[in-house]
Structure 1
Amino acid sequence: MKILIAMMKHETNTFSPIVTDWQRFENWSAHFGHKALAFYEHTGMPVAAYTKLAREAGADIVFPVAAEAMPAGIVTAEAYDRVSDAICDAVVAGCDLALLDLHGAMVAETTLDGEGTLLERIRSIAPDLPIAVTCDFHCNLTRKMVDNCTALIGYKTYPHVDMYQVGMQVGRIVLDSVAGKVHPVMVHTQLPLLSHTLKQGTDDQPVKSLITACREAETRDSVLAATFFGGFPLADVPDAGSSTVVVADADKLVAERQSRDIADLAWRQRAHFVYHGSSLPETIDEAKRLSEHPVILLDHADNCGSGGTQDVMAVIRELIERDLDGVAVAAVCDPEAVVHMQQAGVGAEMTLMLGGKTDMPSLSLEAKPLQVKGTVRVLTDGRWTVRGPMYTGVQVDMGPSAVFDTGKVKIVVVSVHHEPWDLGVFTSVGIQPQHEKYLLLKSRIHYRAGFASIGKKTLLCDGEGVTTSRNELLDFQNLRRPIYPLDEDVVF
């Protein structure tokens, strides 16, 4: 048996000004053939689970490509074609089974449904090919995705610490279907719900109850997999939002009932999917009053893990002006500032115009750099390996990086976007985060993977940026309407 394994992942924020070209894939992870297999086989990713299953089956492995880019704006046609062509060319060459690790929220210049378009193309080449698909929790599930694969599953954790496990689960389903042990049927249900990402943590309500419902459904005899997708609200596409999908063994009625039951549970709790913020000065004042440390401050509107520019200085400016002391920041993406620090050298005292290099036309926001005075403490190449529970074993490259110390605030400055979900974003540059009073992270929920165990309190800092939770500020043109909470009197 010949098994094709491939990865194509990107979470596209259509409001982000950052173009996702091929270089952006190379900046995070883009490997072909044997290099892709070697890079990912011993990690905690779905493709590693697929590889283990293929080896256990004694199959020949075809691994044409593994490509992922940090979330940003629309994927260029050239980058999308390079990845999807590699996968489809391998299907043309021949395989007995395809195990695919996709995201579910990719938008390219040529398609609003990157994954659905890929799967439809594969189906046209090999109509009877068994296909397994893993998707991110933030998948904007489409009919085209469901109709063109054998079994599809999503992560049950956010932060995503079960990627390997869901890869094993869906891979086994499709391998069992090839052996005639099961006969998968799928049903998905789309909710008119554009939930806020900040309310999608799977350790929190309302999502915690939905994950429990999915796990309970999977204990029933004919249910092979049940998934609730929070969806990705920052993609202006018709299918953006929450959904469910259930895979059952030859019993479509069971799949329909379970999918609808989970969706109904989500709809009844729809008001709890809406984030209501606080003023930034109030949040900083609250942080000052706390006595147990470290306190985690989330600059969530500028989260590069959802497509943020990672150079908005609004929150950093506020905490400096309000004289917050003992802060470590991860991270500001400013390659130009890193070059200036490299030229000055470690120990140099200097003034930087930091961040604020990127305009955000979708929000009518102009770039606003912040003048800071301080000392260059550390210079590194920005390379390290993830040791925490999310993306375990994956090699990170933040590009040339530095630590700029104002005396009260230590700022990690990177050249390549990277969301701080692992302690390595600090430890790789010599900062021990557990000993800082405050940790300002440009993250939303993923930070919990590495930092939840050390943080004594988490406060949400409502700053500026294209990962805003104020979805009413965004000009949706393609999104289906009506949809809650943007519209009133929505019926499901």
Structure 2
Amino acid sequence: MKFVVALIRHETNTFSPVSTQLTDFRRGTGGTGPAYGDAARKACEGTNSAAAAYLDLAREMGAEVDFSICANAVPSGLVTRAAFESLCDTVVRSASQGCDAVLLDLHGAMVVDGFPDAEGELLRRIRASTPAGLPIGVALDFHANFSAELIRHATAIAGYCTYPHIDIYETGVRVGRSIRALLEQRSQPVMLWRRLPMLTHMLRQTPSMQPMKDIMDRAMQAERDGEVCNASVFGGFPLADIACAGLSVVIVAERDQIEAGNRLLDELCDLAWARRADFVFPAEPVTQSVAYAKTLEQGPVILVDHGDNCGAGGTTDIMAVLEEVLRQGLEDVVAGPFCDPETVATLFAQGVDAEVTVDLGGKIDMPALGLIGQPLRLTGVVERLTDGEYTVTGPMFTGMRLSLGRTAVLRVGSVRIFISERPQEPNDTGVFTHAGIDPTQSKYVLLKSRQHFRAGFEPFARHIVLISGPGVCSSDYGLFPFQHLSRPIYPLDDDASLAHAQSWVHSAG
């Protein structure tokens, strides 16, 4: 028996000005571009990834593995056509050489120049190059956007049930369980899917809180109780100007469970739609949020600048929130990482203990939102210089070796500012501790994140203050010039209704 395994992940913010090249699909530290074959296996084995679960399944079943590619890029703008063709060709070539199943660890919200639904196109090509009926299992991010094409060509799909995403390995186990049952002729799966005409705000999506919590809890309970094989609720990625953006529900059921599967699908979708207004996040001015944080007496206080979060495609070089923190005089602050390779080079050239004046950030304009880069002039002392490498010890992507590129710490008064060559959402304290600085000992910790910070930072936070800074990850959807969404869609259109939902039923047989 032989499995083809592939990991390709990218969440595309179509409003980001930063295009995504093949070299951006890194595999942790060392070099640029994807890993292939044994290097891909080494990058994933023993980590919190669906691909690692596939490798464990293969060992249990005595299956040979062709690990074709490991390619993981930080969220950013459109993926170039050349990069996508290279990624696709690698997987299709492996699958076309013969196998018993293809097991994919994908994101589900990748947009390519020419292919709004990149994962759907990848599956279409795999299906076209392999024998009819070949099992294709797909693990997807909670923020996947669905078209009928993705459902049409997959055999079984499961999505993360958490946000921050700490159940990635378990999602691979769920996919593998369905594929194994099919291979052992114990299952005849059917997939039921519906996409609702609603864009949920990412700060209101997390299944750990309402309004999503009991929707996801109901799906997980149905799966545990055997009502269906798999039940997944996808919050969707709303910062993609494509026709298939929105909240979706996917049910994998046996043929004799279709009636129960449809009832569950209706129940979950009706509940989500009834709460659509609760999925809208109300923003407040940056000055007001920072002023409130200043009144909090006990730390650590986590300040979350979610409008410029690279985990959703932000550039992480917008300085507005840091500037306000400095203006209002907050003290004992650890902040970052801010991505600015030019400033990093300057600080490395000056060396530790040098007093320097730099223009930090503001290097990138965002024409889609009419934002012009505004650097922040700072004078401080170079406190640390590092290689930016660390191993994730927290619950998200546990065990993965990551790199910020070269990283410098600039101390401005009692504010320590981390500046890196590569963007990285701070979901693990390693972004700071690799430089010998413990964020748990600071009064304030300023992060560019949205929800993933909770994996590494929420456990020790006394307070969390969400700050609606500017950027291409803004929660104010009225700022975005959407042109390709399926309309009407809530909350942009008051006349959106369940009559505008899209559904699909697909049988693997």
Which residue among 106, 111, 117 is the counterpart of 1:107? 111
1:476-487 matches, cutoff 5 A: 476-487=482-493
Which residue among 384, 392, 397 is the counterpart of 2:398? 392
Q: Equivalent residue for 1:469?
A: 475
Q: Equivalent residue for 2:6?
A: 6
1:203 aligns with 2:208: yes
Partner Cα separation in structure 2 for residue 261 and residue 147 of structure 1: 23
Partner Cα separation in structure 1 for residue 405 and residue 423 of structure 2: 9
Which residue among 164, 170, 173 is the counterpart of 2:175? 170
Which residue among 230, 235, 238 is the counterpart of 1:233? 238
Partner Cα separation in structure 1 for residue 241 and residue 416 of structure 2: 36
Instruction: Tell me which amino acid in the other structure corresponds to 2:46.
Output: H
Deviation at 1:354, TM superposition (A): 0.4
Partner Cα separation in structure 2 for residue 391 and residue 26 of structure 1: 14
Deviation at 1:350, TM superposition (A): 0.9
Deviation at 1:277, TM superposition (A): 1.2
1:92-121 C-alpha deviation (Å, 9 max, x unpaired): 111111110011100001200000001111
Aligned residues: 492
* 8 Å contact from structure 1 (residues 75, 106) kept in 2: yes
Partner Cα separation in structure 1 for residue 379 and residue 247 of structure 2: 45
1:177-216 matches, cutoff 5 A: 177-216=182-221
Instruction: Tell me which amino acid in the other structure corresponds to 1:349.
Output: E
* 8 Å contact from structure 1 (residues 222, 254) kept in 2: yes
Deviation at 1:460, TM superposition (A): 1.0
1:308-343 C-alpha deviation (Å, 9 max, x unpaired): 000000001111111111111121100000110001
Partner Cα separation in structure 2 for residue 466 and residue 247 of structure 1: 35
1:218 aligns with 2:223: yes
Partner Cα separation in structure 1 for residue 455 and residue 394 of structure 2: 7
Partner Cα separation in structure 1 for residue 129 and residue 253 of structure 2: 26
* 8 Å contact from structure 2 (residues 283, 476) kept in 1: no
* 8 Å contact from structure 2 (residues 27, 72) kept in 1: no
* 8 Å contact from structure 2 (residues 241, 484) kept in 1: yes
Partner Cα separation in structure 2 for residue 475 and residue 27 of structure 1: 33
1:164-207 C-alpha deviation (Å, 9 max, x unpaired): 01101111111111111111110001111101111112211111
Partner Cα separation in structure 2 for residue 9 and residue 344 of structure 1: 37
Deviation at 1:489, TM superposition (A): 2.4
Instruction: Tell me which amino acid in the other structure corresponds to 1:74.
Output: L
Q: Equivalent residue for 1:141?
A: 146
1:260 aligns with 2:266: yes
Deviation at 1:27, TM superposition (A): 7.2
Q: Equivalent residue for 2:51?
A: 47
Partner Cα separation in structure 2 for residue 392 and residue 117 of structure 1: 30
Q: Equivalent residue for 1:427?
A: 433
Q: Equivalent residue for 1:445?
A: 451
Instruction: Tell me which amino acid in the other structure corresponds to 1:50.
Output: Y
* 8 Å contact from structure 1 (residues 187, 246) kept in 2: yes
1:59-458 matches, cutoff 5 A: 59-126=63-130, 127-250=132-255, 251-458=257-464
Partner Cα separation in structure 2 for residue 97 and residue 278 of structure 1: 49
Instruction: Tell me which amino acid in the other structure corresponds to 1:370.
Output: L
Deviation at 1:408, TM superposition (A): 2.4
* 8 Å contact from structure 1 (residues 27, 416) kept in 2: no
Deviation at 1:219, TM superposition (A): 3.4
Deviation at 1:291, TM superposition (A): 1.2
* 8 Å contact from structure 1 (residues 185, 255) kept in 2: no
Partner Cα separation in structure 2 for residue 349 and residue 102 of structure 1: 45
Deviates more, 1:172-181 or 1:210-219: 210-219
Q: Equivalent residue for 1:32?
A: 36
Deviation at 1:60, TM superposition (A): 0.7
DSSP 3-state at the match of 2:459: coil
DSSP 3-state at the match of 1:63: strand
Deviation at 1:254, TM superposition (A): 2.2
Runs of 5+ unmatched residues, structure 1: none
Instruction: Tell me which amino acid in the other structure corresponds to 1:473.
Output: L
* 8 Å contact from structure 1 (residues 297, 441) kept in 2: yes
1:349-383 C-alpha deviation (Å, 9 max, x unpaired): 11110000000001111100000011000001111
Q: Equivalent residue for 2:502?
A: none
1:149-170 C-alpha deviation (Å, 9 max, x unpaired): 1100100000000000110111
* 8 Å contact from structure 1 (residues 31, 65) kept in 2: yes
* 8 Å contact from structure 1 (residues 188, 256) kept in 2: no
Partner Cα separation in structure 2 for residue 476 and residue 460 of structure 1: 25
Partner Cα separation in structure 2 for residue 392 and residue 221 of structure 1: 29
Deviates more, 1:211-220 or 1:328-337: 211-220
Deviates more, 1:44-53 or 1:26-35: 26-35
Percent same amino acid at aligned positions? 44
Partner Cα separation in structure 2 for residue 219 and residue 340 of structure 1: 55
DSSP 3-state at the match of 2:317: coil
Runs of 5+ unmatched residues, structure 2: 499-509
RMSD of aligned C-alpha atoms? 1.0
Deviation at 1:255, TM superposition (A): 2.0
Partner Cα separation in structure 2 for residue 26 and residue 272 of structure 1: 37
* 8 Å contact from structure 2 (residues 27, 43) kept in 1: no
Partner Cα separation in structure 2 for residue 447 and residue 419 of structure 1: 8
